[in-house]
Structure 1
Amino acid sequence: MTLSGVYVPLVTPFDAAGAVAYAAIESLAHQVLDGGAAGLVALGTTGEPGALDPGEQRDVVDVIARVCRERGAPLVVAANTAAALAALGGRPEVTAALTLVPPFVRPGEAGVVAYLAGLAAASPVPLVVYHVPYRTGQPLSAATLRRIAALPGVAGVKLAVGGIDDTTVELMADPPARFAVLGGDDAVISPLLAIGAHGGILASAHLATAAFVGLVDRWRAGDAEPARVLGHRLAALSAALFAAPNPTVLKAVLHAQGRIPSPAVRLPLLAPGDDAVRAALARLAGAPVEAFP
């Protein structure tokens, strides 16, 4: 299995009373799949999983899994413990787990490899390793990423290092076989695709979904000039959406579009400033809503 294309990590909308709006999740899932998304991600950071209780987490996955089953779409679920991974075994719609490099403890690169090897061996589904060192505090070299790619049960990486750094360039100069590299920094997805990434897990693709799908398709086809033009426009949109902590601006824009019942987020997140929301709406108005011709 090689994952590719645009995967959308769905937000968790809340209603006016603060409860999870499950019907809105279902609607969003259908909308982004209608826009050409290759698959969905449940309980990613964009979905505020730490603010959901266990029952809400389970119910969110149930709703998204049902849509994926109806649509024949792959589902990736964030799972970072052996118990969370084991719970995915009874869900045939789940094709992979998004598993974070262990945060905060900074176990060293050998420790990361051993940790992921243990989880992969116990998991009923392949892992997509989420490497986001500006959050976890644990850098990884290209050599270590290759060791991770060689682990049985590891299908790919969500690469979110804050840009196109030397490690990314070294990895993509000779990418491991049958190992999906998916971009996780929305604003730099275009240059990552240009050097060979297979796709992305992109919160921004809740909006202008078809355009993000078109961006991947253009780079795959080698249509560099239209891909660059489209990539610049989408990068500006992504930067505006991430001007405040994710997914605060995104949810405000989705609410302004009438796609979710409220812009609410749960603590520790706070609502974004009005200026940030207005700027994102302005960028969206200038972004393409269909795949670039």
Structure 2
Amino acid sequence: MGEPTRLTSPDRVVFEGAGYTKQDVVEYYRAVADWMLPELARRPLSLVRCPDGAAGQCFFQKHYAESLGDDVRSIDLMQKSGVEPYLYVDDIEGVTDLVQMNALEFHPWGSRIEDPERPDRLVFDLDPGEGTGWPDVLRGARDVRDRLRKLGLENFVRLSGGKGVHVVVPIAPGPSWDDARAFSDAFANHMAVQAPARYVATMSKAKRPGKIFIDWLRNARGATSVASWSLRARQGGPVAVPIRWEELGRVDGPAAFDLRAARRRAARMRKDPWEGFETLAQTLPVIG
């Protein structure tokens, strides 16, 4: 572990309107670290960095650089262009280093650095198209939940902090990325075929109005999904918050928690809303 990060420009406002500063961001991540790190640590990461705050120009970064900080780690991963250095963190000090470098969002792989070619979770992102409301998203999320359960897969729900919700499925490492992608593709397309007026499983924006896009494409090698407890680089400082299925109908939207509200929730929690997630050793079924 390197020396504790010295935060530069701690009073700089990162989320205009809400008034949250860079110091607020660091203190938030330290406050939720115990809940966030199990999903974040020791996984290849992509970041959303916003040097001019959430309202400015932001960019994704997935490659390691020494300038990111002493507690940010590097892992070499094979890509089509050859071996490339990706980044990951072990602990909250690494997260703090990345916030110092203006990282706001954290998007981990669905696999760990110890076995990056074997995913241990799947994510289905329910992205509502134009003309689709929050009640439609709730209905869709519960439909995904129930269909997965019929296949023997327990699953968990997260408010995305953006437009929709994520349904997350823990699996035992073993399937390849190709296996994970094939299952996710078949599952989402099966839903779209059975309920074409409600769902679409392709990225085509022309097909999305009035429907929910079941985004299964995050379940591919190198694709990522935002981590639970991660801030989103959006107005107001919303957070991607894991909740219990029983809570879903009591929230008013996917960005129901901002930085302050998410921090309060984390402080009050005595039990993980995703209790049991890490110990579920589920196997992927075959979709006939």
TM-score by structure 1 length? 0.30
- Please report the TM-score for the alignment, with normalisation by the length of structure 2: 0.30
Which one has the bigger helix percentage?
1
Which structure features the higher share of strand residues? 2
